[in-house]
Structure 1
Amino acid sequence: MIVSMLYKLTRKLLSLPSVLLRSDAAKDAELLVLRHQNAVLRRQLAVPVRYEADDRFWFAALSGLIPRRRWHEAFPVTPGTLLGWHRRFVAAKWDYSARRRTGRPPTDAALKKLVLRLASENPRWGHRRIQGELARLGHRIAASTVWEILHAAGVDPAPRRSGPTWREFLTAQAEGILAVDFFHIDTALGRRLYALTFLEHCTRRLHITGVTANPTRQWTLQQARNLTAGLGMRMESLRFLLRDRDGKYGTAFDAVFEAEELDVIKSAARAPRMNAHCERIIGSIRREALDHVLILNEAHARQVLAAYQQHHNEHRPHQARNQIPPNAHEQPTATNIGTRRLLRTRILGGLINEYRYAA
């Protein structure tokens, strides 16, 4: 558009009376000099002359002031070439290809990210189900576009996507899962003790049922009986017992929970991630208590673990429960810091601190 306007303006300026009022003799002499210079230069060049865009511009603009029959004398190009340049300038005025984009508009990056999020969080949703959910959210997008986004990201169609991971399975079934695992404690004199811990996935409630130096099947069976009796009515909400393949459990241990209508799920060998929540709580027990205390004997180990269990269940906040302790049901109400006194309770000789506002 700008080139076309400049071309028209140049044509007008070249036809001004100031140019035309010059004497014919002076103009003819100047033309003869320019023609002779052009002929000399063309004789000395061994390769064809290449003209830039501005050269073509001026030749095409000046062509309107010279009769067409004399173009072969005035211009160093053929008339067909000159006319082609002129047609190109005129065509540029009506060429809108640079001002429009053909095809569908590109899909917004945020919408692509939302499509992939819905696909990852809902592995059973196909591209049409995702399109429907997007429409409900106010995003109008074709089902074929959703399919293209999923295909480009390497996401398989819904029936052939990979099944839920252990993390997804444990999260979905958290309300009904009870996990169990052993962990060891080395005393100050090098004696090894074993503790049996149970964890309710939904509430993150911790149960350390016993400590012994000789964890036999009979001892483990008794711990299972003690736990089921202590849970009472809460056993009705549990549906699965998750444990590893340690030989200290045995069929009698499983029978205690099967009598309570729980399905026993055994993790694969050497796959601690299948019991990730229990492994995590054991790690917390070590980092927050056992790694900082010299355990003397079984009685001392029971005392330390009982104190930690009470702290864990009554006071310690948990991310999975929105920073609420396992035995609490709601967040405490906010209070003005300057109006109440903060009290500190020392657990295990100050190894762990609990904070509460004075009543």
Structure 2
Amino acid sequence: MTDREKDVEILALRHQLAVLQRQLGCQRPRLRPEDRALFAALLVPLARATLRRLRLLVSPDTVLRWHRDLMKRRHARMCVNRRPGRPRTVASIRRLVLRLATENSSWGYRRIHGELALLGVAIAASTVWEILKTAGVDPAPRRTTVTWADFLRSQAEAILAMDFIETVTLTGQRQYILVAIHHASRRVWIVGTTAHPTHAWVTQAIRNLFMDLEDTGYVARIRFFIRDRDAKYPALIDDILGSAGIATVLTGVRTPRMNSIIERWVKILRAELLDRTLIWNQTRLRQALREHERHYSEHRTHRSLAAAAPLRARPQPLELDHVERLTICRRDRLGGVIHEYRHAA
């Protein structure tokens, strides 16, 4: 025997004595799994003839069987830890697939696969199907149901709404405010204020509004004009709008929800300005309305615009080192009724 084989035999015999000492009084020594693993690791590299010369509690065939079982369990654990099949799709591609499915409810997995091919993303159609199915999204093009909110949002670019707002000055004079709002951009125009909204005044105010819309490029986008059935609107304005290719849509009787966008703006105007400011006369009213219109269009955030303003894009998030040295100053409008916060120069 070589020195290595003698060392192995000594280790095996010593461990065997330890097993026997551990089980004194037992009729038959019982080997634990760790004992079998040790014997298999020590004795299998020896030749079969050497194994037969050793004085062991078990036969050489049993030691070899232990070793085979040990190797089987090892390979079984390796197969469990290894993921079967192809590697998992990159997270950015999975997010893109779900984004296309969310933003295009009528697209099936084949249509999404074609769009990805146009973007240069090499992915199988079956993989797109699996990503949608795992995320709980129907891969087939049966997601064609469009909600009213989605429908109105898709049409918002072509809608302009108008309404009258009534307020009373401290002198007791009733003032009528004519206001218009673009649904998509939330841009507001204070068309005018008057104590006597005659048909001639309303007609001229709408003509002035459309001159402003032409200068800003909104006329080319607007196709529908929403208003209520107020008698203050003359029939002539429908002809003015029709000449520009804009159809008038009248709301139902006592149905303010049909013109909900501008009704929500009226609530904002009353809560932020009219209910908190003393309006002495028409001149003061016009000045306050101009200030609020400028604040609403240039600074006030809107949830429908992802916290941006109609005339100001949302700024990029600040980096951490800039946040630590952040200095903010306040600007007051209308004597402190409205506060605006900006970065200090």
- Scaled by the length of structure 2, what TM-score is found? 0.61
Deviations 1:202-260 (A, max 9, x none): 67250333355x9xxxx5866653343324564963311234xx66369x768843762
Counterpart contact for 2:159–2:226, Cα < 8 Å: yes
Structure 2 matches for 1:115-264, cutoff 5 A?
115-156=97-138, 157-163=140-146, 166=149, 169-170=152-153, 173-174=156-157, 176-185=158-167, 187-188=169-170, 195-201=177-183, 204-211=187-194, 219=197, 224-232=202-210, 234=214, 237=220, 238-243=222-227, 248=230, 256-257=237-238, 260=242, 261-264=246-249
For these two proteins, the number of residue pairs brought into alignment is 297
Larger radius of gyration: 1
Deviations 1:91-135 (A, max 9, x none): 578776367432121122222111111222233333222222223
Instruction: Report the CA distance between 1:137 and its aligned residue.
Output: 2.7
Q: Flag the 1:49–1:119 CA change in 2: closer, same or farther, 3 A.
A: same
Instruction: Report the CA distance between 1:180 and its aligned residue.
Output: 1.8
Q: Flag the 1:197–1:350 CA change in 2: closer, same or farther, 3 A.
A: same
Match of 1:44 in 2: 26
- Scaled by the length of structure 1, what TM-score is found? 0.59
Q: Flag the 1:59–1:100 CA change in 2: closer, same or farther, 3 A.
A: closer
Match of 2:87 in 1: 105
Deviations 1:137-185 (A, max 9, x none): 33211112212222333334445333265366446541x3211234454
Deviations 1:17-55 (A, max 9, x none): x788x9xxxxxxxx8xx7898499365379x83512354
Q: Flag the 1:316–1:86 CA change in 2: closer, same or farther, 3 A.
A: closer
Counterpart contact for 1:183–1:196, Cα < 8 Å: yes
Q: Which moved more, 1:113-122 or 1:162-171?
A: 162-171
Distance across 2 between alignment mates of 1:172 and 1:13: 90
Distance across 2 between alignment mates of 1:127 and 1:133: 10
Deviations 1:286-331 (A, max 9, x none): 466435421235564345335655x469x8368455528xxxxxxx
- Cα RMSD (Å) of the superposition? 5.0
Match of 2:260 in 1: 275
Q: Secondary structure at the match of 2:98?
A: helix
Distance across 2 between alignment mates of 1:116 and 1:241: 36
Counterpart contact for 2:97–2:131, Cα < 8 Å: yes
Q: Secondary structure at the match of 1:264?
A: strand
Q: Flag the 1:133–1:249 CA change in 2: closer, same or farther, 3 A.
A: farther
Amino acid aligned to 1:163: V
Question: Unpaired segments of 5 or more residues in structure 2?
Answer: 301-307, 314-330, 341-345
Amino acid aligned to 1:104: R
2:274 is matched with which residue: 287, 290, 302? 290
1:323 is matched with which residue: 312, 319, 322? 312
Deviations 1:72-104 (A, max 9, x none): x732x5666433212234557877636743212
Identity score, percent: 32
